Each structure stands twice: as structure tokens, then as C-alpha cells.
Amino acid sequence: MLQFSVLVETMRREGYEFEVPRPNVEYRFVGEKMEPIERLECIIFIEFNNNVSHGLEMRKAELENVEYYDTYLKQIWLMPSQSLVGLNDLILNLTRGKGTFSRRFYDYLSYKGDLMKCINGSMISNENGISMLYSMFHLKDRGDFYPRENNGL
């Protein structure tokens, strides 16, 4: 994933215009809908425990184990793969840059339901110009637009 994001950023800086969709999760159907579950290991300072726990529970994570040390703790969570999109930024924000985590595939378990949609963020134009209906049509599912068609940006 990191290599792909580096390629996308390099191409964007070279002037290419393209759209990259959100990553998709591969589900299995064995009598019921099954989704991939990841085992997430977080190492955080104790003072950030409540914030991180709340943030991960909002992403349908289930706490499996906690180990306390002097000033920090290690949490092990089981969470759906669909919850991992944007997780790095969440952990860094909630721990003020002092938290680390690693993840690996665990198993396919029963589907836990859809996640909440993103409630914040923004789309920013990197150049001045006029908004075009074609471009706006392909980006409409990513957020709300304040400028309308043929308005200056």
C-alpha cells in the first residue's frame, strides 16, 4: 500500500490527473457473509488509553488482551479489515504521535456490519480554474461540493 501511495503522489506532482478509488474488502460467503479480521497490536502510553479504546471501538474492534507496563501498555485488538483505512492517522492523532501499531491477518469471521461514513475531511483543488461537471460527477461520492458547475476555483 505504501509503494502505491508513493507512486500516486509522484504521478500527481508530475501533472497527471486520475482518480483512485477506496480500497475494497474481499468478503466470503460460507452460509453467511464473512469478512477478514485483522489482529492489531497497539503500544501506547497509559494516558491515551481511553481515547484509543474509544476510537477503535467506533471502528468495530474488539479488545482481546491488555498488558500493562510502567508508563505504557500493549493492547491487542481484533478488527475488520475495512476498519483499517485511515487507522494510521487516527492512532497518531489520538496519541499525539506517540503510539505505534502493527497488524496482521487473523481469520474470516462473521460480518459485523457497515462502518460509519467519514464525517470530516475536505477536497482541495490544487490549481485555479473553472469547475467542470465531468470532474465533479466522478468525485460526488467523496463529499459535498460548495462551488457549483462553471464557478471559479
Q: Is the pLDDT of residue 148 over 70?
A: no
- Residue 144 in any domain: the answer is no
pLDDT of residue 133: 72
Q: How many CB atoms lie within 10 A of CB 52?
A: 22
CB atoms within 10 A of CB 61: 23
Tens of pLDDT, residue by residue over 3-51, are: 777 888 888 888 887 777 777 778 888 888 888 889 989 888 888 888 8
Amino acid at 85: V
Asked if residue 52 is part of any domain, the answer here is yes
Q: Which residues contact 11 (CB under 8 A, 6 or more apart)?
A: 18
Residue 26 lies in a domain: no
In a domain, 60, yes or no: yes
pLDDT digits (tens, 9 = 90+) for 47-90: 888 888 888 888 888 888 888 888 889 989 898 888 887 777 88
Cell reading at 100: 505505534
> Who wins on pLDDT, 26 or 132?
26
Kindly report the number of other CB atoms within 10 A of residue 27's CB atom: 13
Residue 127 lies in a domain: no
Top pLDDT among 134 and 57 is at 57
Q: What is the pLDDT at residue 39?
A: 92
Classify residue 79: in a domain, yes or no. Answer: yes
Instruction: Specify the pLDDT at position 140.
Output: 67
Mark out the alpha helices in the chain (DSSP H runs): 2-13, 49-57, 87-94, 133-139
In this structure, are residues 61 and 103 in contact, taking their beta carbons and an 8 Å threshold? no
| C-alpha–C-alpha distance, residues 47 and 96, integer Å | 11
- CATH code where residue 70 lies: 3.30.70.240
Report yes or no on 142 lying in a domain: no
141 band by pLDDT with thresholds 50, 70 and 90:
low
pTM over 0.85: no
Within-domain flag for 12: no
Residue 79 contacts residue 38 (beta carbons within 8 Å): yes
Domain count, the chain: 1
- Residue 63 lies in domain: 32-110
